[in-house]
Amino acid sequence: MSHSGTLILIMAIAVLAPLLAYGIGRWLPVPLVIFEILLGILVGPDVLGWAQRDEVIDVLSQLGLAMLIFLAGYEIEFGKVRGSTLKRSAAAWLIALALGLGLGTLLANLGDDGGFSKGVFIGTALTSTALGTVLPVLRDSGDLGGRFGQVMMAFGSVGEFGPIVAMALLLSGRSAWQSTALLATFAALTAAAVYWAMRPKPPWFSSVIAKTLHSSGQFAVRFVVLLLAVMLGASQVLGLDVLLGAFAAGLITRLVLNGAAPGSSGEILAKVEAMGFGFLVPVFFVVTGIEFDLRSLLDGGRALLLLPVFLALFVVVRGLPVRLLAPPDLGGRDRTALMLFSSTALPLIVAITTIGLDDKVLAASEAAALVGAGMVSVLVFPLLALRCRAGKGEKGAKGEKREKPPRARRVEAESW
Q: Look at residue 398 in the predicted model and tell me its pLDDT.
A: 47
Identify residue 111 by its one-letter amino acid code.
Answer: G
pLDDT in tens, 210-255: 999 999 999 999 999 999 999 999 888 887 778 888 888 998 998 8
pLDDT in tens, 282-302: 998 899 889 888 887 887 677
Question: Which has more pLDDT, 31 or 87?
Answer: 87
With a pLDDT cut of 90, the percent of the chain lying above it is 37
CA proximity to 245, closest of 63, 33, 56: 63
Helix pair 364-389, 347-358: axis angle to 10 deg? 170
What is d(CA 35, CA 17) in angstroms, rounded to the nearest whole number? Answer: 5
Q: Is the pLDDT of residue 361 over 50?
A: yes
Q: Is the pLDDT of residue 399 over 60?
A: no
Question: Which has more pLDDT, 379 or 94?
Answer: 94
338 pLDDT band, cuts 50/70/90, is very high
pLDDT in tens, 65-78: 889 889 888 877 76
The greatest distance separating any two alpha carbons of the chain, rounded to the nearest whole angstrom, comes to: 64
What is the separation, in whole angstroms, between the first and last Cα of the chain?
A: 28
Phi (first) and psi of residue 47, to 5 degrees? -125, -85
Q: Look at residue 391 in the predicted model and tell me its pLDDT.
A: 52
Q: Is the pLDDT of residue 404 over 60?
A: no
Q: Look at residue 172 in the predicted model and tell me its pLDDT.
A: 65
For the chain, count helices (H), then strands (E).
Answer: 19, 0
Q: Look at residue 357 in the predicted model and tell me its pLDDT.
A: 87
Q: Look at residue 3 in the predicted model and tell me its pLDDT.
A: 62
415 pLDDT band, cuts 50/70/90, is very low
Q: Which of 195-204, 240-249, 316-325 has the highest mean pLDDT?
A: 316-325
| Contact (Cβ atoms closer than 8 angstroms) between residue 345 and residue 129 | yes
Question: Which has more pLDDT, 413 or 383?
Answer: 383
Q: Is the pLDDT of residue 1 over 90?
A: no
pLDDT in tens, 252-274: 998 888 888 888 888 999 999 99
Helix pair 347-358, 147-170: axis angle to 10 deg? 10
Half-sphere exposure of 228 (CA within 13 A, CB side): 25
Q: Look at residue 79 in the predicted model and tell me its pLDDT.
A: 63
Q: Look at residue 395 in the predicted model and tell me its pLDDT.
A: 45
